[in-house]
């Protein structure tokens, strides 16, 4: 497969595809990746390009390099590992996990969600689902949408009763928006599993959870999606890479 020469630099194409292969289970923890020469031939790029891709993965903590031996995948203790650095990374959750609807998308009154979405009404559309990797549910998410946006999705089988598939709500949503999603304001806290969370993820009630709230906004600054997720820490690793701004 030849790396694209468009807007995305070649080394980022290589690192992105290797990252997807690792998170998708093609290379397990401790596995050795192909050599620079092998990957250069596969992607039709230079060894220097592959080396830069490896540097990106090392910086993310996904791989480590042993001089004279090669490049190996970092052990993750069997937990689902996802690196988030962009909106596209969040959309790509669909590449290696399955979404399973627990409560289908429906119209309801939710004052708290409506307030966080900065709405003039208390009406929202809400869907709850869990996400599964390698047969193991690791997160339960509730998504709240403004009424005028939820109406675009209400008839989709992917968010209806019994809906399953390889997709994300924002992935379903964005093609139907007038403006692209450009921001996800995120907060991470610790919480305990309420009854519905425990039932959906097969854990004990009050089990310690990682709670991640994201408020997605479009290019005009309007909130279009509020998601509240509860992750099982024993099955999930969350990683973000922070870089200094260029001067």
Encode pLDDT of 42-64 as tens digits: 999 999 999 999 988 887 777 88
- CATH (domain of 127): 3.40.1410.10
Phi, psi for 170 (deg, rounded to 5): -65, -30
Tell me: do 57 and 127 sit in the same domain: no
> What is the residue range of 204's domain?
80-240
Tell me: do 92 and 187 sit in the same domain: yes
* Domain termination site, one of 30, 53, 73: 73
Q: Does the residue 122 lie in any domain?
A: yes
Q: Does the residue 4 lie in any domain?
A: no
- CATH (domain of 69): 1.10.10.10
Number of domains making up the chain: 2
Tokens of 243: 């870089």
Mean pLDDT across the chain: 85
Tell me: do 102 and 50 sit in the same domain: no
pLDDT at 216: 93
Question: Of residues 74 and 155, which shows the higher confidence score?
Answer: 155
What is the spatial distance between Cα 1 and Cα 54, in angstroms, rounded to a whole number?
A: 18
pLDDT at 138: 93
| Residue 224: how many other CB atoms lie within 10 Å | 21
- What predicted TM-score, i.e. pTM, was given to this entire model? 0.67
* Domain termination site, one of 73, 107, 128: 73
What is the spatial distance between Cα 124 and Cα 103, in angstroms, rounded to a whole number?
A: 14
pLDDT at 6: 46
Closest among 25, 224, 204 to 113, alpha carbons compared: 224
pLDDT at 99: 92
Interval 56-74 mean pLDDT: 81
- Res 92 pLDDT > 80: no
């Amino acid at each position: 497969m030849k790396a694209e020469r468009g807007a995305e630099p070649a080394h980022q194409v290589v690192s992105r595809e290797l990252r997807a292969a690792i998170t998708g289970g093609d290379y397990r923890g401790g596995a050795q990746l192909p050599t620079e020469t092998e990957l250069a031939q596969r992607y039709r790029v230079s060894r220097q390009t592959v080396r830069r891709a490896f540097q990106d993965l090392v910086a993310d903590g996904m791989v480590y390099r042993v001089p004279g031996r090669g490049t190996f995948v970092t052990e993750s203790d069997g937990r689902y590992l996802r690196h988030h650095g962009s909106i596209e990374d969040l959309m790509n959750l669909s590449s290696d996990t399955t979404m399973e609807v627990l409560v289908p998308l429906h119209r309801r009154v939710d004052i708290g969600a409506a307030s966080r979405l900065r709405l003039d009404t208390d009406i929202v559309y809400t869907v709850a689902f869990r996400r599964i990797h390698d047969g193991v549910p690791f997160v339960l998410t509730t998504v709240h949408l403004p009424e005028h946006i939820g109406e675009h999705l209400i008839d989709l089988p992917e968010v209806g009763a019994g809906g399953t598939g390889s997709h994300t709500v924002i992935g379903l949503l964005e093609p139907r928006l007038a403006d692209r999603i450009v921001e996800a304001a995120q907060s991470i806290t610790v919480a305990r599993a309420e009854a519905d969370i425990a039932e959906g993820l097969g854990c004990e009630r009050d089990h310690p959870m990682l709670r991640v709230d994201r408020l997605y906004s479009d290019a005009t600054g309007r909130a279009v999606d509020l998601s509240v997720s509860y992750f099982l820490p024993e099955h999930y690793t969350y990683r973000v890479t922070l870089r200094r701004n260029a001067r």
